[in-house]
């Protein structure tokens, strides 16, 4: 039995056969974000543990159970720091916003990111211990239109990918003016029903009662469904903000469903929270989620800065992507050298054609019928044949592998012939 090394539990390799789907999704995102004028930001994959404890909240499952935390190396023990692989990226983006004084630039700052995140949890379909997120953040405005815009960006993106019917669920979790009173009301209600709650919910009742509303344990659902809602307790400011968000979404035809039980698992959310859910993912059906976090920048040492954003798990998104949604890799031509002296010429020709922006590969050699089978397997559009006769005449044979038509082209005219054929759809 071999003793080979395998990938750690909860991680997956993205193999060449799958990489095209990832690249397609990322390219669509870049194109859309450019149209909306979001700028990319890249932050480290590990940060100070304190950043996540302060930013996400010590009473959340992420901080309490799921973070990968380690001590930095230093010969001086007093200089060793507690570091954590990022479990999400909003806190890191906010840290960069503060550290580099992006608040001194024109506001709002419209940012997007993508990259790996890390959480210790039970691996399941669409959820790994190392997973990849795509997200946007708008920092520097409390205007409800930015809440609406980030939701519209998400729905536009998912629509461009051709995903099946998705539902936008929307709620408000209030702010410092109205949430404390609601928290007390909810906590009192949950304490009166402790015997009907799971162990996690009993703990959450004391530490973070709003998280009980997010419980998926069937036995807890009667208590959750009968609980008082934040909607009944919103202040006029939060109520007006929510109405404005809904008005903007309606103006551009984005359908939504009010879900007054919707909360998010991070402490920093205020007012708007939302999820985009799919009926094709079972219990873990959230594709994209986010909301407004007006106090986070100040909590992390920056100036008072309202902000809103979302994150989207790419693994889960790819599970929904239609099989025909990813375009072919687009190999323009496979160059076939059928004579030893032709191989250096074929090698140089391939180099020149790639410099013209064409996707070119070299056949593995051997008999011509074997090389044609390789071209078919690779999905090449054309075969460029360079044999003894062609070499002597200074030409190549170009065969259209769809129409089976073949023609002879001078060696110095291959670039124009292939570029013209591709441009003309021949």
> What domains can be seen in the chain, in order of their start residue?
16-178+234-320 (3.30.930.10), 333-418 (3.40.50.800)
Give the model confidence (pLDDT) of 304-317 as tens digits. 999 999 999 999 99
Q: Are 403 and 353 in contact (CB under 8 A)?
A: no
Phi-psi region of 75 (alpha: psi -120 to 50; beta: other; left: phi over 0): alpha
Neighbours of 339 (CB within 10 A): 15
Of 240, 205, 208, 235, nearest to 223 by C-alpha is 205
The pLDDT tens digits for 77-121 are 888 999 999 999 999 999 999 999 999 999 999 999 999 999 998
**pLDDT for the residue numbered 333:** 94
Give the single-character DSSP code of 124.
B
Write down the pLDDT at residue 267: 67
Q: Report residue 214's pLDDT band, with 50, 70 and 90 as the boundaries.
A: confident
Residue that wins the pLDDT comparison between 238 and 62: 238
Helix (H, G, I), strand (E, B) or coil at 83: strand
- For the entire predicted model, the pTM comes to 0.85
Q: Which two tokens stand for residue 55?
A: 């930013």
Rounded to the nearest 10 degrees, how much is the dihedral formed by the CA atoms of 202, 207, 212, 215?
-80
| Separation of alpha carbons 391 and 352, rounded Å | 17
What is the pLDDT confidence band of residue 365, given thresholds at 50, 70 and 90?
A: confident
Q: What confidence tier does 340 reach under pLDDT thresholds 50, 70, 90?
A: confident
Q: Is 229 exposed, middle or buried (0-12, 13-18, 19+ CB in 10 A)?
A: middle
Which pLDDT belongs to residue 155?
95
Residue 179 has pLDDT above 90, yes or no: no
pLDDT at 409: 93
122 band by pLDDT with thresholds 50, 70 and 90: confident
Residue 417 has pLDDT above 80, yes or no: yes
């Amino acid at each position: 039995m071999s003793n080979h090394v395998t990938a750690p539990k909860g991680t997956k390799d993205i193999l060449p056969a799958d990489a095209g789907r990832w690249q397609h999704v990322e390219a669509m995102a870049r194109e859309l974000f450019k149209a909306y004028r979001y700028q990319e930001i890249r932050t480290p994959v590990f940060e100070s543990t304190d950043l996540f404890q302060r930013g996400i909240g010590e009473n959340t499952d992420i901080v309490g159970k799921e973070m990968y935390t380690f001590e930095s190396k230093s010969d001086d023990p007093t200089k060793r720091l507690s570091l954590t692989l990022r479990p999400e990226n909003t806190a890191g983006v906010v840290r960069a916003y503060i550290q580099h004084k992006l608040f001194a630039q024109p506001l709002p700052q419209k940012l997007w990111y993508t990259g790996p995140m890390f959480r210790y949890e039970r691996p399941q379909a669409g959820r790994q211990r190392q997973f990849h997120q795509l997200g946007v953040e708008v920092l520097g405005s409390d205007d409800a239109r930015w809440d609406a815009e980030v939701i519209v960006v998400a729905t536009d993106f998912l629509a461009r990918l051709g995903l099946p019917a998705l539902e936008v669920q929307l709620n408000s979790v209030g702010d410092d003016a109205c949430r404390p009173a609601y928290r007390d009301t909810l906590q009192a209600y949950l304490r009166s029903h402790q015997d009907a709650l799971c162990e996690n919910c009993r703990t959450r009742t004391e530490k973070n009662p709003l998280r009980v509303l997010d419980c998926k344990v069937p036995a807890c659902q009667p208590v959750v469904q009968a609980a008082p809602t934040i909607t009944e307790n919103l202040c006029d400011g939060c109520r007006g903000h929510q109405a404005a968000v809904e008005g903007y979404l309606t103006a551009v035809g984005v359908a939504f469903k009010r879900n007054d039980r919707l909360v998010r698992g991070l402490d920093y959310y205020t007012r708007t929270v939302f999820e985009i859910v799919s009926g094709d993912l079972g219990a873990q059906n959230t594709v994209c989620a986010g909301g407004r976090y007006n106090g986070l920048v100040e909590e992390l040492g920056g100036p008072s800065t309202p902000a809103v954003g979302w994150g989207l798990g790419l693994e889960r998104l790819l599970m929904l992507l239609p099989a025909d949604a990813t375009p072919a890799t687009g190999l323009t031509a496979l160059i076939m050298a059928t004579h030893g002296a032709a191989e250096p010429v074929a090698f140089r020709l391939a180099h020149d054609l790639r410099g013209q922006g064409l996707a070119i590969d070299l056949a593995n050699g051997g008999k011509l019928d074997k090389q044609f089978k390789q071209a078919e397997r690779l999905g090449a559009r054309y075969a460029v044949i360079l044999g003894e006769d062609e070499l002597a005449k200074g030409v190549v044979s170009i065969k259209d592998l769809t129409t089976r038509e073949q023609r002879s082209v001078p060696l110095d005219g291959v670039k124009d012939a292939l570029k013209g054929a591709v441009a003309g759809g021949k």
